[in-house]
Amino acid sequence: MSRLHDHRERHATDRIGWLRAAVLGANDGIVSTGSLIVGVAASQPGQAAILVAGVASLFAGAMSMAAGEYVSVSSQSDTERADLARERIELTEQPESEREELIRIYEGRGVERATAEAVADQMMARDALATHARDELGLSHVSTARPLQAAAASAATFVAGSAAPLLVAWLAPLSALIPAVVVTSLLCLAILGALGATAGGAAIGRSVVRVTFWGVAAMAVTFGIGRLFGAAVG
């Protein structure tokens, strides 16, 4: 019995809100800034122009990620609040219909009618709105939208992700800048994929392949565009 009492489970679902935004921000920071640096460098300007483009990408991207996350997650939060307000009204005006709805939900999960009725009555007596939010709407404290948290996590990790290729572009000689940025960016993406998979309890190999593939694709495209426009201008 003591072992059962001391049993603790750790799940990754409580990290979903900030982990998704953090991984997205870091991945976008590495890919967009690294790709932009490679594309600009391929057009063969001076190193100062490359660094200016990289720094501009860092700040613009961080603000864009923060704004985008805040707006999108705020929309989700508004929808959740509207659903809860609607559910609160229905519980006041149609309690029996809401009870029957809950019973059917439990029956659909394999619970016998009599047990489903007993469970529905007990759960609604304790907190009817929270019960319907969880079992009918699929809302919980884990999945609740948090706009500020998502915006901060995304912006901060975008800056961190952008810093690596930008630092390499600053330190590397111009002749070796493109391969140095490409290798650094892909290495950072692989590490990010491994860390994200570990934090989320997912398969590491698949995550690493996924993020590095899109990184290679993005840098190849921007390199080609940079070479094309550089040759045209030259």
Domain definitions of the chain by residue range = 16-228
Instruction: Answer yes or no: is pLDDT of 230 > 70.
Output: no
For 19, 30, 48, 92, 215, the CA distances from 185, given in Å and listed in that order, are 20, 6, 20, 56, 8
Confidence band, pLDDT 50/70/90 cuts, at residue 141 = low
Q: What is the reported pTM?
A: 0.71
Q: For residues 223 and 133, what is the distance between their CA atoms, to the nearest angstrom?
A: 49
Q: In the structure encoding, which two tokens stand for residue 145, read together?
A: 């939208």
In this predicted model, what pLDDT tens digit does every residue of 27-75 receive, in sequence order? 899 999 999 999 999 988 888 999 999 999 999 999 998 898 888 888 8
Vertex 15: Cα angle to 10 and 16 (nearest 5)? 125
Q: For residues 218 and 142, what is the distance between their CA atoms, to the nearest angstrom?
A: 33
In this predicted model, what pLDDT tens digit does every residue of 145-168 receive, in sequence order? 678 888 888 899 999 999 999 999
